[in-house]
Amino acid sequence: MVMWLWPNCIRPALYYAGANTTVLRTVPVIGIAAWLLLALAFVLQLSGGQGIDMVVNVAGSALAFFYLAAFTFPRFVAALTGGWDDRIALRRSYSSVTQRAERLGGSQKEFERLRRDIVALDRHRNPETDEWIDLIQGELLDWADGNDVSPDASKARSDRIVELGTRLYPDTAPPTKAPAT
């Protein structure tokens, strides 16, 4: 179960919270250690361990609780195990939204979910990212709603997105494109 939780629940939660690579390496080790300590506690209890089984059980339970808390409170766990970056979280969320938009089927339910996720980019707002988020949300929502935008306005918005994206992400190419129409 520990191995199933990591790729399906805990890693994505930490990843989209902007956890750095230290966190993404540390938390699965904690999960494995928790499982091993709980297994050791079980073996010690069966063999009649004189109180040590309780100590090992408590330690394993604490680590297991911490591991499972990474799914519900990813930023808290990231802060304790190595940190996170809000700009990385924004970039990962934006990339996820645009990739899903490119694969989008035609159902109304999928469009509503995409719109919610576009609006949810607001959770990454700070003074540094305000304008960029406004622009990318406008571009994505115009695309999702099928709004006609003049070519001049679209080019001006795209140029500003690139300019701000380059400032936010100087070491890498900024995420700049909306899904193809």
pLDDT at 181 (0 to 100): 46
pLDDT at 131 (0 to 100): 92
pLDDT at 134 (0 to 100): 92
Q: Which of 52, 81, 110 is the last residue of a domain?
A: 81
pLDDT at 143 (0 to 100): 80
pLDDT at 1 (0 to 100): 64
Cα–Cα distance, 129 to 49 (Å, whole number): 56
Nearest to 32 by CA among 5, 58, 72, 53: 5
Cα–Cα distance, 67 to 58 (Å, whole number): 14
**Residue 102: CB partners within 8 Å, gap ≥ 6?**
179, 180
Q: Which of 44, 60, 81 is the last residue of a domain?
A: 81
Q: Are residues 14 and 59 in the same domain?
A: yes
Domain annotation covers residue 174: no
For the chain, give the mean pLDDT: 83
Q: Tell me the pLDDT tens digit for each residue of 141-158.
A: 888 777 788 889 888 988
Tell me if 30 sits within 8 A of 66, measured CB to CB: yes
Torsion of Cα atoms, 154 then 159 then 165 then 167, to 10°: -150
Looking at the chain, the whole-number percentage of residues with pLDDT higher than 70 is: 91
Which structural domain, as residue segments, surrounds residue 33? 2-81
Q: Which of 44, 66, 81 is the last residue of a domain?
A: 81
Domain count, the chain: 2
Write down the pTM of the prediction. 0.69
Q: What SS3 state is found at 84?
A: strand
pLDDT at 92 (0 to 100): 87
Domain annotation covers residue 175: no
pLDDT at 85 (0 to 100): 82
10-residue mean pLDDT series, the chain (181 residues)? 81 88 89 86 78 79 87 89 85 86 77 86 88 89 80 88 85 57 46
